[in-house]
Amino acid sequence: MDGIPIARPAALGLILCLVSVPLRAQEPAWETVRLDLDVRLLPDEERLDGDATLRLRRVGEPAQELALAVGEAIAIRGVSAGAAGPAFAVAIDSAASGAVLRFDRPVAAGEEFEVAVAFASTGRGFQMVVDPVAAFASWARTWYPIAETYAAPGTTRIAMPAAWRAVASGGLVGRTEAAGRAVETWSSDRPLARSFAAGPYAVAIRESGGRTIGTYLLTGRERADEYAGALADVMDALEARFGPYPYAGYALAEVPAGLARWTGSSEQGFFMARSDALEGPINLPLLATSSPTAGGGTGCERSCRARS
């Protein structure tokens, strides 16, 4: 259920809104060996700029073309060669939503090389918003450039106002502050599809069962510790029933009700919940439904392929 928005809980339970369900596709002809994202959030301008470095390996027969794609409200600004590899010409489509690289020679099976892609937001998407209040993006809407697959090891580096905190796919490995800006780096050694949420969060962190549990709240900030404890309890209960949790940490991140048209969205390693879903008593069914341990976050390495 990664990246699937969840509708408002109904009287008899949770209605799952089956939007953005990734379709199972054939094995990719291009493997993303590593993906490093450098994202700059500019809330006052309601936009993001980014650079992606993709290390790619040819899996199928030799090929002389490679297609890159982005989703709604994102544009490719440029493509250039990274580490040693074949030279290529680039053709970006008129909507800047895709690019075709035409190599000067066939790329052989097993050959690896790097491609650097500059991209930027062009507005707001269903699950990608940058606003003065907060920002968030889900992999399900292809907010970063891909070559067939969404998931890869690597880093997500997020630059934002110093008063903000972020949560992203992977584990937090560093934060620096300078000149009113902060940079956080999130990293994963296993393949992950990338998502993030950022804002002036009240953060509570708890260690439980060798993993890091975090809550990132905008409203009801005094409840951050309460939610962290409830989330840790839910994870313990679900692990006992469904088996080991697949990631090093898990987090709950609030997104403003005015910015999201969905109640919640399950990402790899964290869950985004709209503000009104967090009002009143803690909604344990919502937390349990969002959990990857319950089946929501374990399949992306197999099924996060470019969708037809």
For the stretch 192-248, pLDDT in tens is: 999 999 999 999 999 887 889 999 999 999 999 999 999 988 888 888 888 888 787
Q: Model confidence over 85-135: pLDDT tens digits?
A: 899 999 999 999 999 999 999 999 999 999 999 999 999 999 999 999 999
Proportion of the chain in helix, strand, coil states, percent, rounded to 5: 15, 50, 35
Return the closest-CA partner of residue 192 out of 296, 306, 300: 300
Q: Which residues partner with 252 through β-bridges?
A: 215, 271
- Taking the domain 1-28+42-47+123-308, which CATH number applies? 3.30.2010.30
Question: Residue 168 corresponds to which amino acid?
Answer: A
Return the closest-CA partner of residue 54 out of 7, 99, 105, 2: 99
Judged by DSSP in three states, 277 sits in: helix
The one-character DSSP state at 45 is G
CA atoms of 63 and 113, how far apart (whole Å): 13
Structure tokens at 251: 């987090």
- Report how far Cα 288 is from the mean position of its chain's Cα atoms: 20
User: What is the pTM (predicted TM-score) of this model?
Assistant: 0.87
Q: Are strands 135-137 and 196-199 parallel, antiparallel or unpaired?
A: antiparallel
Return the closest-CA partner of residue 295 out of 258, 266, 264, 260: 266
Structure tokens at 196: 């993030």
Instruction: Check pLDDT > 50 for residue 21.
Output: no
CA atoms of 44 and 49, how far apart (whole Å): 13
Q: What are phi and psi of 66, to 5 degrees?
A: -140, 135
Looking at per-residue pLDDT, the higher value among 15 and 145 belongs to 145
Q: Model confidence over 35-77: pLDDT tens digits?
A: 999 999 999 999 999 999 999 999 989 999 999 999 999 999 9
Q: Which residues partner with 285 through β-bridges?
A: none
Q: Are 188 and 69 in contact (CB under 8 A)?
A: no
Q: Are 230 and 101 in contact (CB under 8 A)?
A: no
Residues near 262 by Cβ (< 8 Å), separated by ≥ 6?
5, 6, 7, 17, 19, 126, 127, 274
